[in-house]
A and B are shown apart, each in its own frame.
Chain A
């Protein structure tokens, strides 16, 4: 294999980092789409040179770019994310009804098996699908018309559909997560959806055990064990072993269970990573120390990973889509910070180094292993 490519979405453009399989020396290419917010960029598992980019901005709105040559050249594809049918209302922050209004695409998830199939998660929450490489998008309306949807309410960052997991075994099964509605699953390709939030407990909502209304920050899955899901919730790190039907807390001995990203080791389905931050009011790491916490027991027991990470005067955050793993042996782990550093580990998190230090604030990181 030739190496690893990182797709780094930032507040001011897309950067592409590449390395050989040793993952010691990195070339930084960019910015692509300078000045635009790149909420997410993601490559196709079928052909890693097929890359989709969510390009947005407060002035000129949402665009989608596609590359078929690994980011060397780009073509703008369709960005008509229309809500299908009767738009309807969800709740606003003040508890009053408000019509769905499209703002941006938070996450793009290409199919594991079909080159031209790709899903997009929107704010206000909706799931779109393209079967022609992004030339046309169609909403999967079963999610937004779920009976609970009028009760969905935005989190502080907006009512965003930020997690899309395409099940590696069952092609009709998709998991999504929405801030702050919760997690949902379809078993029929997106026609009907079921809230999967049993076991979540959120003190900040009127009914802490409600069917919907939980602020899920991120869900992760290991491909060899697709019924086991890991979740970083607003507070609490959670685990399900029945495809989300039931959850239990695995925060264990974490110093704080508030955070945004969660990732699973590429080869060890019981090894997971989180980046705890101080609290929901202090969105930076604790004690000025940047620490990734790793559990090799599927939760409850956690160890801080600090070698190569700043351990004083550090007050960064890591956003929900800004952590990724590669599939090399040993597993590479990567994350980007709110201060523009991309850190990488080529040994499953034991040691880290800054791959680049002065990018704009980082929204997303995806890792691709190149053939």
Chain B
């Protein structure tokens, strides 16, 4: 199971508290993790990635193992510790005013 921590607004939308866990078939990539999250919580479709282009929304960031993976290719493998369920994949609302 892959561990994912969503930002507070998305936890509210998904009606969850704390981290979520998803099964990711195949290679554990950013794309596959987000696909799995959206499949389990369809109300989040379009909130992390533009639903037309599939690109990360500008003020959403992805962190794991103390690394900023936001600009990594979506099909690149995530760190082993994420794939093994030892570390969570973090979806973060970027710092900005308002």
List residues of A whose CB falls within 8 A of some B CB.
35-36, 57-63, 76, 79-80, 82, 102
Contacts and interface: CB of A to CB of B under 8 A. Distances in A.
B9 A60 contact: yes
Contacts of B60: 59-60
Nearest to B51: A80
**Size bracket, chain B contacts:** 10 to 19
17 contacts: A35-B9, A57-B9, A58-B98, A59-B94, A60-B9, A60-B10, A60-B48, A60-B60, A60-B93, A61-B47, A61-B50, A62-B46, A76-B13, A76-B43, A80-B46, A80-B51, A102-B52
Nearest to B57: A61
A152 B43 CA distance: 33
Smallest CB-CB A-B distances: 3 pairs: A60-B47, A59-B59, A59-B93
Nearest to B59: A59
Contacts of B57: 59-61
Contacts of A61: 46-47, 50, 57
Contacts of B7: 59
Nearest to B52: A82
A79 B93 CA distance: 20
Nearest to B42: A76
Interface string B59-98: 1100000000000000000000000000000000110101
Given A60-B9, A62-B46, 11 more contacts: A58-B98, A59-B59, A59-B93, A59-B96, A61-B46, A61-B57, A63-B13, A63-B46, A63-B47, A76-B13, A82-B52
Contacts of A60: 9-10, 13, 47-48, 57, 60, 93
Identify which of B9, B93, B94 gathers the most chain A CB atoms within 10 Å of its CB. Answer: B9
Contacts of A76: 13, 43
A102 B43 CA distance: 19
B45 to A, nearest CB: 8
Interface of B: 7, 9-10, 13, 43, 46-48, 50-52, 57, 59-60, 93-94, 96, 98
Nearest to B10: A60
Contacts of A57: 9
B13 A58 contact: no
Contacts of A82: 52
A76 B41 CA distance: 12
B8 to A, nearest CB: 8
Contacts of A102: 52
A39 to B, nearest CB: 15
Nearest to A82: B52
Contacts of B52: 82, 102
A76 B96 CA distance: 26
Contact of A79 (B46, B94, B96, B98): B46
Nearest to A79: B46
A62 B57 CA distance: 12
A102 B93 CA distance: 20
A62 B10 CA distance: 13
A58 B43 contact: no
Contacts of A79: 46
A36 B93 CA distance: 13
A36 B46 CA distance: 15
A63 B94 CA distance: 19
A35 B51 CA distance: 22
A36 B12 CA distance: 11
Nearest to A58: B59
A58 B9 contact: no
A80 B52 CA distance: 9
A58 B93 CA distance: 10
B40 to A, nearest CB: 15
A60 B48 CA distance: 6
Contacts of A63: 13, 43, 46-47
Nearest to A83: B52
Identify which of B7, B43, B96 gathers the most chain A CB atoms within 10 Å of its CB. Answer: B43
Nearest to A62: B46
Identify which of A59, A76, A79 gathers the most chain B CB atoms within 10 Å of its CB. Answer: A59
